[in-house]
């Protein structure tokens, strides 16, 4: 999945607490024998279909959820469609578009579901829960992580379920939902893991490191990108190498043993996940608005410029057609030669990743709340594509300015014994920065601690150093106190923000508009 617009991995990452999970019944969890049982179709995350997709983009049906759809569709054992929504629900539909059921997951569902061979469904949510449901939508088991789960589960051939969390852990479960192990990473894990044929699990973290773990959770090797986080989900190439994007504006290829193979420089952050053909050719999008087609050695074959940045991950059909969305609300179909076949204009950004399935159908979600299904029936004659037109974005209304960094206190006037918390809301930024969060008053000056929202340390100390910016908006908790202690009455000032790496943590040094202050009076 694309890492969604609610994540600031380095500023607010939580230390994992081992919380009990609930199991009400067992389920089997080998991948389903379906057209597209998980994010990027298979545990290798290739994004490659054995089907031809629609050539003309005719809309077959759509369904409007309560909020936007960032999650990508997974197909069940009988062709059912499953997809999550920001309205906190996981939905199920028949192939013809009839609503079957929805399940309340407690918070937004950006994670894309994975389907086991018995039809059961595994998915994460921003409530920090990992859920397993029957194909009819009944609860099977859940596990409570410490922070949101936007990573999408992979199911290996032997039934191991793996996915990441904002709490910086990669989790593994058995086919019946038993917790097996977790691996603590360098940052939040939005990347959806890929699993190779020997059981090695590969994924990226939001602080520059790409990991390979064996099936029992032991580190095999790691690889560091130059600066930025890795939210892109890796794809495993036919030769076993790993291809993924990073926030240092590069697409990387790393060998199966962790050695650097090549990188390709783009002009923007790369959160899109690659599609890889049997030939080893690669397709991947970037926030520079360009879809890149590379050969297996990293050389550019062609590129296509969309109307706005590309966070959607492309899907590749059997005839070489590539399907993807962009933040300009377009859904594109590009022929194997790089020429536009068709496009469809939704009403909001398309960061969900398309899925190709029976009768040349293509499914994808949008932030306009709709799930779209194109095609159906026998494929039309292959068209002759003309010159590629330059996409022209529709005129946009003048945006209302949004504060770049905001603090929210649970109360501005509190008494001893009452709870108190500090939340932060941050807009994207593209600088390498140090992050600070400080509270000062009559009891002294203290800093918030990275990953420990109930702790303070004396003095002014950075929460994170050399953080490679934020590529999405984020809102989360910096500090949470169950009860204010007695004897510390007075006025306290909370200050948080970013400064250029190595700079003194002072308001005058703060990155423009990326700091905020708020006060609370303790009675």
pLDDT in the model for residue 99: 97
Integer Cα distance of 496 and 519 in angstroms: 12
What confidence score (pLDDT) does residue 473 get?
A: 64
pLDDT at 44 over 80: yes
Q: Is the pLDDT of residue 397 over 50?
A: no
Core vs surface per residue 395-432: b (16+ CB within 10 A) or e: eeeeeeeeebbebebbeeebeeeeebbbbbbbbebeeb
- Among 150-154, 450-454, 472-476, the range scoring the smallest mean pLDDT is 472-476
At 353, is the pLDDT very low, low, confident or very high (cuts 50, 70, 90)?
very high
Span 384-404, average pLDDT: 45
Q: What is the pLDDT of residue 25?
A: 36
Choose the weakest-confidence range: 208-212, 249-253, 393-397, 479-483.
393-397
The verdict on domain 405-522 having CATH code 1.10.3720.10 is no
User: Mapping DSSP to helix (H, G, I), strand (E, B) and coil, where does residue 74 land?
Assistant: strand
Question: In the 8-state DSSP scheme, what is residue 216?
Answer: T
DSSP string, 342-397: EEEE-SS---SPPEEEGGGEEEEE-TTSEEEEE--SSPPPPPPP-PPPPP-PPP-P
The mean-pLDDT minimum among 45-49, 233-237, 379-383 falls in 379-383
pLDDT at residue 499 in the model: 75
Close Cβ partners of 416 (under 8 Å, ≥ 6 residues apart): 483, 484, 485, 486, 487, 488, 489, 522, 523
Bridge partners, residue 420, by sequence: 481
Question: Is pLDDT above 50 for 294?
Answer: yes
Q: Determine the average pLDDT of the residues in 352-369.
A: 97
Q: What percent of the chain has pLDDT over 70?
A: 83
Residues 6+ apart with CB under 8 A from 98: none
* Residues β-bridged to residue 411: none
The answer to whether residue 145 scores a pLDDT higher than 60 is yes
Question: What average pLDDT score do residues 327-336 get?
Answer: 97
Terminal CA-CA length for the chain: 46
If we measure between CA atoms, which residue out of 454, 3, 496, 508 comes closest to residue 247? 3
Top-confidence residue, 319 or 482: 319
Q: State residue 19's pLDDT score.
A: 28
Nearest to 274 by CA among 310, 235, 327: 235
- Residue 377: predicted pLDDT: 56
Task: Show me where the domains of the chain are located.
Answer: 22-374, 405-522
State how far the Cα of 425 lies from the Cα of 476, in Å rounded to an integer. 7
- With bands split at pLDDT 50, 70 and 90, how would you rate the model's confidence at 196? very high
Residue 512 in this model has a pLDDT that exceeds 70: no
Lowest mean pLDDT among 222-231, 266-275, 350-359: 222-231
Q: Look at residues 100, 92, 56 and name the one whose alpha carbon lies nearest to residue 76.
A: 92
pLDDT score recorded for residue 392:
41
* pLDDT value of position 418: 87
pLDDT of residue 10 exceeding 50: no
Is the pLDDT reported for residue 339 higher than 50?
A: yes
Categorize the per-residue pLDDT at 14 as very low, low, confident or very high, splitting at 50, 70 and 90: very low
Nearest CA-CA partner of 75 in 116, 109, 19, 46:
116
Interatomic CA distance for residues 494 and 106, integer angstroms: 30
Which is higher by pLDDT, 229 or 363? 363
Does 251 or 454 have the greater pLDDT score? Answer: 251
Q: Is 338 left (phi over 0), alpha (psi -120 to 50) or beta?
A: left
Query: What are 47-98's pLDDT values in tens digits?
Result: 999 999 999 899 999 999 999 999 999 999 999 999 999 999 999 999 999 9
Q: Residue 182 in contact with residue 188, Cβ under 8 Å?
A: no
Q: What is the mean pLDDT of the chain?
A: 86
- Bridging pattern class, strands 361-365 and 290-294: unpaired
Please give the Cα distance from 291 to 314 (Å, whole number): 9
Q: Please state, as a whole number, how many other Cβ atoms lie within 10 Å of the Cβ of residue 485.
A: 10
Higher pLDDT, 506 or 423: 423
Residue-level pLDDT at 180: 98
pLDDT above 90 (res 424): no
DSSP state of 108: -
More confident residue, 484 or 227: 484
Tell me which fold the domain 22-374 belongs to.
Methylamine Dehydrogenase; Chain H (2.130.10)
**Rounded average pLDDT over 420-428:** 80
From 7-21, 95-109, 141-155, 442-456, the region with the lowest mean pLDDT: 7-21
C-alpha 163/C-alpha 148 separation (Å) is 12
pLDDT at position 12 is 32
CA distance 287 to 268: 5
**Tally of CB atoms within 10 A around 240:** 14
Tell me which of 342 and 503 has the higher pLDDT: 342
The stretch 163-191 carries a mean pLDDT of 96
**pLDDT at residue 406 is higher than 70:** yes
Q: Please tell me the pTM assigned to this model.
A: 0.71
Name the band, by pLDDT with cuts 50, 70 and 90, for residue 468. Answer: low
């Amino acid at each position: 999945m694309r890492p969604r617009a609610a994540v600031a991995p380095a500023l607010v990452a939580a230390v994992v607490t081992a919380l009990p999970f609930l199991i009400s019944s067992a389920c089997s969890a080998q991948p389903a024998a379906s057209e597209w049982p998980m994010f990027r179709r298979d545990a290798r995350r290739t994004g490659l279909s054995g089907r031809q997709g629609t050539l003309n983009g005719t809309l077959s049906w759509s369904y409007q959820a309560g909020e936007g759809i960032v999650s990508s569709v997974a197909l069940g054992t009988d062709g059912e469609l499953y997809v999550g929504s920001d309205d906190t629900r996981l939905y199920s539909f028949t192939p013809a578009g009839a609503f079957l059921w929805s399940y309340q997951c407690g918070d937004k569902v950006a994670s894309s579901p994975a389907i086991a061979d018995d039809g059961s469904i595994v998915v994460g949510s921003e409530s920090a829960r990992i859920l397993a449901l029957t194909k009819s939508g009944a609860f099977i088991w859940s596990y409570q992580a410490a922070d949101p789960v936007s990573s999408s589960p992979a199911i290996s051939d032997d039934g191991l379920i793996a996915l990441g969390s904002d709490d910086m852990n990669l989790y593994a479960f058995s086919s019946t939902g038993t917790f097996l192990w977790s691996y603590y990473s360098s940052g939040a894990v939005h990347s959806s893991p890929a699993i190779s044929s020997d059981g090695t699990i590969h994924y990226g973290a939001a602080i520059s490191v790409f990991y390979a773990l064996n099936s029992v959770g032991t580190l095999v090797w790691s690889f560091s990108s130059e600066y930025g986080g890795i939210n892109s989900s890796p794809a495993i190439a036919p030769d076993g190498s790993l291809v993924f994007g990073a926030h240092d504006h590069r697409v990387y290829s790393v060998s199966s043993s962790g050695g650097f193979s090549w990188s390709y420089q783009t002009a923007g952050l790369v959160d899109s996940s690659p599609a890889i053909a049997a030939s080893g050719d690669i397709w991947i999008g970037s926030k520079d608005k360009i879809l890149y087609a590379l050969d297996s050695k990293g050389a550019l074959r062609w590129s296509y410029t969309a109307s706005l940045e590309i966070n959607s991950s492309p899907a590749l059909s059997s005839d070489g057609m590539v399907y993807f969305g962009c933040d300009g609300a377009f859904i594109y179909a590009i022929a194997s030669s790089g020429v536009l076949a068709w496009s469809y204009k939704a009403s909001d950004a398309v960061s969900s990743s398309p899925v190709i399935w029976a009768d040349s159908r293509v499914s994808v979600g949008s932030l306009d709340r709709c799930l779209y299904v194109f095609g159906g029936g026998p494929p039309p004659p292959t068209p002759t594509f003309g010159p590629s037109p330059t996409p022209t974005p529709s005129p946009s209304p003048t945006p209302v300015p949004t504060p770049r960094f905001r603090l929210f206190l649970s109360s501005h006037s509190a008494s001893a014994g009452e709870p108190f918390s500090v939340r932060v809301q941050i807009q994207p930024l593209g600088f390498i920065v140090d992050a600070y969060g400080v509270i000062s008053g009559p009891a002294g000056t203290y800093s918030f601690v990275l990953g420990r929202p109930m702790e303070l340390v004396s003095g002014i100390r950075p929460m994170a150093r050399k953080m490679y910016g934020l590529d999405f908006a984020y809102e989360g908790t910096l500090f949470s106190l169950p009860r204010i202690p007695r004897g510390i009455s007075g006025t306290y000032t909370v200050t948080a923000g970013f400064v250029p790496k190595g700079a003194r943590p002072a308001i005058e040094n703060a990155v423009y508009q990326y700091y905020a202050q708020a006060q609370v009076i303790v009675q």
